Structure 1
Amino acid sequence: MQDIRDAILADDTAALAGLSVPESYKGITVHADEADMFEGMASREKDPRKSLHLDDVATPEVAPGEALVAVMASAINYNTVWTSIFEPVSTFSFLKRYGRISPLAKRHDLPYHVVGSDLAGVVLKTGEGVHAWKPGDKVVAHCLSVELEAPEGHDDTMMDPEQRIWGFETNFGGLAELALVKTNQLMPKPDHLTWEEAASPGLVNSTAYRQLVSPHGANMTQGDVVLIWGASGGLGSYATQFALNGGATPVCVVSSPEKAEICRKMGADLIIDRSEEGYKFWSDPETQDPREWKRFGQRIRELTGGDDPDIVFEHPGRETFGASVYVARRGGTIVTCASTSGFMHQYDNRYLWMNLKRIIGSHFANYKEAYLANRLVAKGQIHPTVSRVYPLHETGEAANDVHHNSHQGKVGVLCLAPEEGLGVTDTAKREQHLDGINRFRGV
């Protein structure tokens, strides 16, 4: 593995192509025999540092249409947190289900799960039938894994009945020294970014693009008022950038003055600090308070000059969904994913049906959407939101930060990269966008 690292750092493609693939590598895993370790505990009490392990794991066979990637850096997403605390179910149920569809998929059904749905790295080996990528190519990966053997997926690959999220519903994910991906997950690494910066947008950037910009999501247009929950977080920070980049007006909802300042640095002017203004949408654990919905809606109109949101960018879920349905304008759209505060949503349907509003479910992105989202990063129109970076052996600590929302933007993880700041090949472009790239650093 050290020879692989050295060849990548020296940008020696010939040397890399001549190296043999290691029989094993280090990866961050959860273990099937520990799936009940947090049973009976509240979610907040479950500790990813106890369930995420740094193990030596066997290198999987590279099948046709696949690539083995030497991972320089990865990042933490909420799905890694869910995997680590075994909620809402153990991911080993996903791996077993996947393993039943074919002999090759059976490789994924193991008593350990190598996790992680982001990466930036270098192609090490490709399987038969791969022509678009070769060893030495610098890549990032999106996390859509599809089989495309059924007709449903050929209009929108997210509709494939065998659609899965790599590193969450499949094995051999990106929080490791090596990762196994389908080659239709690969995209060019933005050349002005470091490894850790390039790794961080993947999942959240593509998710936000489909949810907000794509016709499959809210189909945002110029002039739209977009209410964005958690606007400085991993997902919301990209939604805020897409709104600004696309001529919309974001109304950024945050939970502290520090997070409000991050939104201002991104260029947003309309900000609601929900902690400072004391919004409590639930009067008790079972009862919402419509008076708070109304107060919240009035505050939005104060900021916008009387306009209700054309689009509500929803991802907290249970805690905020009733308010989101209420405040959307007549004929407006609530587009939802993730539900990080709870999956069981409650809202007053009168405000939806009588005002002709729409709720749209959105999940990750198809290959084209992921490619378009990555292209905007490569062009310097959308910037990474890395605030902190951990070494691979401290992934549990990084996941715990995200679990307890003690982070901003994205938390990166160094895998084979020995330190931060490596991997840039276009320094002129980097200098042009340095303020945007570093906007979240140290926050």
Structure 2
Amino acid sequence: MALSALPLGTWCHTLMLSGRPACRDHPYVGCPLKPRLVRPDACVTGTSRAPPRRRRAPPFAEPTAHLHPAPQAPRRIPQDSAPAGRFFAGGITVKEILDAIQSQDAQSADFAALPLPDSYRAITVHKDETEMFAGLDTRDKDPRKSLHLDDVPVPELGPGEALVAVMASSVNYNSVWTSIFEPLSTFGFLERYGKVSELTKRHDLPYHVIGSDLAGVVLRTGPGVNSWKPGDEVVAHCLSVELESSDGHNDTMLDPEQRIWGFETNFGGLAEIALVKSNQLMPKPGHLSWEEAAAPGLVNSTAYRQLVSRNGADMKQGDNVLIWGASGGLGSYATQFALAGGANPICVVSSEQKADICRSMGAEAIIDRSAEGYRFWKDERTQDPKEWKRFGKRIREFTGGEDIDIVFEHPGRETFGASVYVTRKGGTITTCASTSGYMHEYDNRYLWMSLKRIIGSHFANYREAWEANRLISSMTALGRVDAAVVEPVVQRAVPTPMFGSRRASRRRARTGCHLAGAGARRSPPESGT
């Protein structure tokens, strides 16, 4: 099975994430192609050319509960409905929004004057379906059964917030985990967040609008927002914090109320409109397309903290850096950071196609672990130290006989024992995600007796997210796009008619790709559609 196409009408073109299962616990993976755009045709889900009927959002249960309406079921949009994305509910057309966005003359006041719709289209999961995969192995859980294209009410703006017209979004592991309700249902996160304040009650709903990346245009800002205005082209990072505790003021990732937007909060980016805290917003790099701009947010910032920041590995020139999944979402940015920072990346991939991706980024030291037959586990319970040693010997062929200074570790259970073994004395293993399993096993003698360190890393704080974005965008201001430190990795999008297509999923599965940001663009409808 694979995470199939997600229809987002013409606001967010269809996303597809699929690929050959890479591990037992998290098989829904795929991997990027070298940065390029494959612009899909305008999205049409039906054959009728009659204008679609306007859809109104269900009224709130109580008129006074404008910040947190009573929970209500979203309206599901049939797959064979009229052409998707042409109209907002309430009669606002996508063309009006697009005309304003694409107009060189539109000013902030023009965007502010655009009326907001009553509802919008979004990819959701439903609270009453959280047990639908009970008893199934992870590889048998099909996200196509849990993901829905729904009409949902536009949330009311609160202080310090912004509503963004989503021009592009992307798929990452947050979307995968949410859709198969692993390791936990996200509705528990929403319930806890709903208890923080009167304002956050809005998030505790019977549906969850998912998505932790976006590129788009600000439509509205709430009270107290001074740095952004309607019409600003932005990208968003996914760190959501309250900052009412002193714990988060040195490193915002340590805030007790730290959450990942679109995963632990509602109103995420796989939708026509998204609600964000204004301090999540960053300038869209001017030289990037919407798809390219939407892809880096989560993975670029995560890789920056994990590898470059002093909160992570604090990489320096000359470091030998082992990068697992080096052609994927996290790994591709780690590879580029290592190359730009004067380190020596040793890129581990699982196919020749992915090795070519690494070469296209400038990497030279590449290990195809599938071709070379590394099997770090004899069976599900027993690791094979002989394979660790064989792997370490292979690494030293690329380092002049030296061991690894830093391991950029994110597969988890499958590779962690080998990662600890191959790290040099006093070296560092930075870890996040654990996409092959959370229960790591390693021989502690190789850790404690060699004074190695394991550092847990999770997303990025405000400063790190801005620094990561700056490495893409600052070169634009200098007129040196060709000198950008990192380039976004964009996976191709497929048109909405591919939604639910098992043939498409099988075809994608044969490519055997790893996970990367899967760019998706909102485009104007074709004439007559």
Among 29, 32, 43, the alignment partner of 2:127 is: 32
Runs of 4+ residues deviating >4 angstroms: 391-402
**For residue 81 of structure 1, what is the aligned residue in structure 2?**
176
Tell me the amino acid that sits aligned with residue 128 of structure 2.
Answer: D
> How far apart in 2 are the matches of 1:284 and 1:395?
37
Give the number of the structure whose residues are more often strand, by fraction.
1
Tell me the amino acid that sits aligned with residue 417 of structure 2.
Answer: G
> How far apart in 2 are the matches of 1:280 and 1:197?
35
> How far apart in 1 are the matches of 2:99 and 2:497?
20
**For residue 325 of structure 2, what is the aligned residue in structure 1?**
230
Among 413, 423, 429, the alignment partner of 1:328 is: 423
> For 1:62-101, what aligned pairs fall within 5 Å after superposition?
62-101=157-196
| Cα pair 1:50 1:396 within 8 Å, conserved | no
Residue 305 of structure 1: how far off its partner (Å)? 1.1
- Residues 87, 396 of structure 1: CA spacing in aligned structure 2 closer, same or farther, 3 A cutoff? farther
Tell me the amino acid that sits aligned with residue 338 of structure 2.
Answer: A
Deviations 1:365-423 (A, max 9, x none): 00110000001011222100002124578687899979x96356421122x3349xxxx
**Computing the radius of gyration over CA atoms, which structure comes out larger, 1 or 2?**
2
| Cα pair 2:172 2:515 within 8 Å, conserved | no
**For residue 491 of structure 2, what is the aligned residue in structure 1?**
387
Matched, 1:193 2:288: yes
Among 202, 220, 229, the alignment partner of 1:125 is: 220
> How far apart in 2 are the matches of 1:59 and 1:393?
26
**For residue 348 of structure 2, what is the aligned residue in structure 1?**
253
> How far apart in 1 are the matches of 2:287 and 2:515?
22
Residue 88 of structure 1: how far off its partner (Å)? 0.3
**For residue 112 of structure 1, what is the aligned residue in structure 2?**
207
**For residue 4 of structure 1, what is the aligned residue in structure 2?**
97
| Cα pair 2:157 2:222 within 8 Å, conserved | yes
> How far apart in 1 are the matches of 2:364 and 2:307?
19
> How far apart in 2 are the matches of 1:408 and 1:71?
22
Deviations 1:221-259 (A, max 9, x none): 000000000000011000000000111000000000010
**For residue 179 of structure 1, what is the aligned residue in structure 2?**
274
> How far apart in 2 are the matches of 1:208 and 1:355?
26
Identical amino acids, percent of aligned pairs: 71
> How far apart in 2 are the matches of 1:39 and 1:345?
24
> For 1:267-282, what aligned pairs fall within 5 Å after superposition?
267-282=362-377
- Residues 218, 292 of structure 1: CA spacing in aligned structure 2 closer, same or farther, 3 A cutoff? same
> How far apart in 2 are the matches of 1:143 and 1:352?
33
TM-score (norm 2): 0.77
> How far apart in 1 are the matches of 2:516 and 2:167?
20
- Residues 212, 410 of structure 1: CA spacing in aligned structure 2 closer, same or farther, 3 A cutoff? same
- Residues 78, 140 of structure 1: CA spacing in aligned structure 2 closer, same or farther, 3 A cutoff? same
> How far apart in 1 are the matches of 2:337 and 2:219?
33
Deviations 1:188-210 (A, max 9, x none): 00000000100000000000000
Tell me the amino acid that sits aligned with residue 517 of structure 2.
Answer: K
Matched, 1:149 2:244: yes
| Cα pair 1:227 1:251 within 8 Å, conserved | yes
| Cα pair 1:195 1:417 within 8 Å, conserved | no
Give the number of the structure whose residues are more often helix, by fraction.
1
**For residue 363 of structure 1, what is the aligned residue in structure 2?**
458
What RMSD, in angstroms, separates the aligned Cα atoms of the two structures?
A: 1.8
> How far apart in 1 are the matches of 2:413 and 2:284?
36
> How far apart in 1 are the matches of 2:309 and 2:340?
14
**For residue 513 of structure 2, what is the aligned residue in structure 1?**
406
- Residues 8, 17 of structure 1: CA spacing in aligned structure 2 closer, same or farther, 3 A cutoff? same
Structure 2, gaps ≥5 residues long: 1-87, 89-93, 476-483
**For residue 79 of structure 2, what is the aligned residue in structure 1?**
none
Tell me the amino acid that sits aligned with residue 22 of structure 1.
Answer: P
| Cα pair 2:323 2:345 within 8 Å, conserved | yes
Residue 23 of structure 1: how far off its partner (Å)? 1.0
Tell me the amino acid that sits aligned with residue 520 of structure 2.
Answer: V
Tell me the amino acid that sits aligned with residue 157 of structure 1.
Answer: T
> How far apart in 2 are the matches of 1:194 and 1:246?
26
- Residues 29, 276 of structure 1: CA spacing in aligned structure 2 closer, same or farther, 3 A cutoff? same
Q: Secondary structure at the match of 2:414?
A: coil
Q: Secondary structure at the match of 1:172?
A: coil
TM-score (norm 1): 0.91
Among 425, 430, 439, the alignment partner of 1:344 is: 439
